[in-house]
Structure 1
Amino acid sequence: MPSAQGPVVLALDFGGTKTALTVADPHGTRLRDRTVQTAAGQGARAGLERAVAAARTLLDGREPLAVGVSTIGIPGADGVALAPNIPGWGELALGRELALEFPGSALRLTTDVKAAARYEHAAGALKGCDPGLYVNLGTGLAVALVVGGAVVAGRNGASGEIGYSLRARADVGRMAADRIPLEDVVSGRALSRAARSAGSRQLADHIGEFIDELAFHLVNLSIALDPQRIVVGGGMVRSWGALHDRLRTALDAAVPYPPELEAAAHPYDAPLLGALALAVEAARTGT
């Protein structure tokens, strides 16, 4: 049971490079925050144990009413699908593990980009937009579509996983292992690799190619989905000035009804805020 300090909820956002945590009151007012490195090279269980230890420090002896979790990949009963950035994350039964750690807490899990889109629609740059498209440019690459106030999940929860998209006609019919998927060239991880191996002039050229390839796919998504607004979040929003102008030009040139284009209102912590919103909702309903 929570101590005399009052009841709390816990939110965790498991990313490719770091895990962000917050403890809040049942209304969602944040009380204490912490960030720990994921240390993907040490494996999935080590990352989970590090996050749980940090959570215990934040909770200071209290048990949360509810725990909201956002994660890279698609959390399921037996593992987290489509999460190659952390070795072993796919085989880790994240929900069951956290239920054992917090047995008295209501537990909610979702994909990080969908959590971010949900929050941006509720209280951010997608508010009032229908449909709205959220683009995450972080360690990886994915999008989420909001229609009628709800984030589209897809049959397997995998809608918006454009990191797996084909890049050229020559990719048609090839298995993933036999081609270069989009996320391998358009993501924070891809840009970091390029920065380590390129000189300043080469890197500038690479960044231009990076943005143009992103623009190519956003144009095609906009033509297919006809969103009212595209909102971009994730760590790469720190370079929003460079991103915006090229993306804006590409959208205006090719999309019959060009959407609005904005940086996210919460570009760096929307997944955590989305997880917190899930925890608050779970605490209220008890499920």
Structure 2
Amino acid sequence: MTEQVTTGTLVTTGTDVTRMRELNALSIVRALRGNPPSTVTELATRTGLSRPGTDVIVQGLVADGWLTVVEPDGSSVVGRPARRYRFNAGAGHVLGVDVGAHKVLAMLADLDGTVASTSRLPVGPDADPAARLAVVDAAVDECLTAAGLSPDEIWAITVGVTGPVDASGRTTLFTPLPGWASVNPAEHLAARFSCPIQVENDCKLAALAERWQGAARDADDIVYVLAGMRTGAGLIIDGTLRRGYGGAAGEIGALRAVRWLTAPSHLENCASLPPGIDTDNAAAWVFNAARSGDKAARTAVRRYTRDLAVGTAALVLTLDPQVVILGGGFSRSADLILDHLARELARTCLRVPEIRASTLGAESVALGALRLALNEVDARLFGMGLSTPAAPRA
């Protein structure tokens, strides 16, 4: 039994001191994560703890492997420089995997989000589930090998997929990947990894990445529009990624009147498109031709953007975001799209948000997967207390 001592109306227990030490240790770790190395005095000031107490906790965190010592460089000529400490981001690692129609991109990062290894492997758009999962395994293995890690050293994994993700981790409502509606990526990876594994929609992960490292780092209310041969959206409201009850938030393109399903056809059917150019390369040709002044190409781009604006306007009117981020493959031609898109939104929206192009490109989904995996680690880490750098388990 836990001994209780009552003084007036205050009741304390024997476990309070232990928990208080854990909370103080967590406050020091939070003060160091993402910041330059700090001295004990700086950490005491930042956390509000006493300097002697901070020193004791810091030494304990060093012994447990959560902090590392940064030795003075000896450049000081007056006295002995204070020792500094940094968060040991290498204590654990996370994986982010983007499973697309034409490629699988895997990224491995430490607990600060610094990417340690990357693997990008091609996969055919018609590949069956078994073949696509084999490419996923190969990409993950390449990342682990490059970083010199084993599966039991991974703390969390997030897999990004095309289509709304339901509570089971499947894309049962819609997915363009053949047979993928029946696939459970988390279950597949759980055969090798014992850490928590999440599955999330690619547009939602891209939105998360833009807020973390991309064009929306200063915003809490974001509409991310995936512009490519497929059109989709990811929503962040009040700084929180919105999934919806069944994981289908942002799937406004399912409404045919929005015209997102058919918008790319303006590029594919451009009047000046030379014969012999396949669908995958048609859009790139049209954008390049439009830059060169081709009138038919310019008309195709304008019509595409007009249709893109219909669904974007519906989201803007519903959510009133601070920014709209144009992402996806067509964001490489943002110079041709953004001004047209702003003018179209001005026709229907009460307030036109700032429209920006993605700065993360093809890596946005995998980076968003890393961010969501890090969020999972943080939730478990800071909810369970710190002892030694052992992976938080599900």
TM-score range, shorter chain: 0.7 to 0.9
1:28 alignment partner in structure 2: 113
Q: Provide the C-alpha distance between the structure 2 equivalents of 1:127 and 1:205, rounded to a whole number of angstroms.
A: 34
The Cα of 1:132 is off from its aligned counterpart by: 1.9
Deviations 1:137-183 (A, max 9, x none): 13421112221111221111101112212227xxxxxxxxxxxxx34
How much does 1:7 deviate? 4.4
Where do 5+ consecutive residues of structure 2 fail to align?
A: 1-89, 275-285, 287-294, 381-391
- TM-score normalised by length of structure 1: 0.83
Query: 1:70·1:110 contact (CA, 8 Å) conserved in 2?
Result: yes
- Name the SS for the 1:274 alignment partner: helix
Equivalent position of 2:94 in the other structure: 9
- The number of residue pairs the alignment matches comes to 267
- Backbone CA RMSD of aligned residues: 2.6
Alpha carbons 2:329, 2:361 under 8 Å: kept: yes
Matched residue, 2:187? 96
Whichever of the two has the greater Rg, that structure is 2
The answer on 1:106 being equivalent to 2:196 is: yes
Q: Is residue 221 of structure 1 aligned with residue 306 of structure 2?
A: no
Q: Tell me, yes or no, if the aligned pair for 1:9 and 1:279 is still in contact at 8 Å.
A: yes
- Partners of 1:81 and 1:129 in 2: how far apart? 32
The CA distance in 2 between the partners of 1:281 and 1:221, in whole Å, is 26
Tell me by how many angstroms 1:238 deviates: 0.8
Residue 231 of structure 1 is matched in structure 2 by: 325
1:131 to 2:215 alignment: no
Which ranges in structure 1 are unaligned for 5 or more consecutive residues?
A: 169-181
Paired AA for residue 262 in structure 2: V
* Aligned counterparts of 1:217 and 1:30: Cα–Cα separation in 2: 34
Residue 56, structure 1, aligned to residue 124, structure 2: no
- Counterparts of 2:310 and 2:162 in 1: how far apart (Å)? 24
Separation in 1, partners of 2:111, 2:329:
28
Q: Percent identity?
A: 26
> In 1, distance between residues paired with 2:232 and 2:157?
24
Task: Note if contact 1:80-1:94 (Cα within 8 Å) is conserved in structure 2.
Answer: no
Which of 241, 244, 249 is the matching residue for 2:335?
Answer: 241
Q: 1:125-204 to 2 correspondence within 5 Å?
A: 125-167=215-257, 182-187=259-264, 190=265, 193-194=268-269, 198-199=273-274, 204=298
**Equivalence for 2:171:** 80
C-alpha distance in 1, partners of 2:337/2:218?
24
How far does the alpha carbon of each residue in 1:233-259 deviate from its partner, in whole angstroms, 9 at most, with x for none?
111111101101111111233322111
- The Cα shift of 1:78 comes to 6.5
Separation (CA, whole Å) in 2 of partners of 1:38 and 1:85:
14
Cα-to-partner distance string for 1:20-72 (whole Å, 9 max, x where unaligned): 11122232211111111231212122111111112112212611222121111
1:25 partner amino acid: D
Instruction: Give 1:6 shift.
Output: 7.0
CA distance in structure 2 between the aligned counterparts of 1:196 and 1:275, rounded to whole angstroms: 39
Residue type of the alignment partner of 1:28: G
Is 1:107–1:282's contact at 8 Å kept on the other side of the alignment?
no
Contact 1:233–1:264 (Cα < 8 Å) also in 2: yes
| TM-aligned CA deviation for residue 92 of structure 1 | 0.9
Cα distance in 2 for partners of 1:194, 1:112 equals 27
* Higher relative contact order (CA closer than 8 Å, sequence separation 6+): 1
Cα distance, 1:219–1:20 mapped onto 2, change above 3 Å: same
The C-alpha deviation readout for 1:89-148, integer Å capped at 9, x for no partner, is 11112221121232x222122111111112222333223434321111134211122211
Task: Give the 3 Å change call, closer, same or farther, for CA 132–282 of structure 1 in structure 2.
Answer: closer
Looking at structure 2, the residues matched to 78 and 196 of structure 1 have their Cα atoms a distance apart, in angstroms, of 42
**Counterpart contact for 1:79–1:92, Cα < 8 Å:** yes
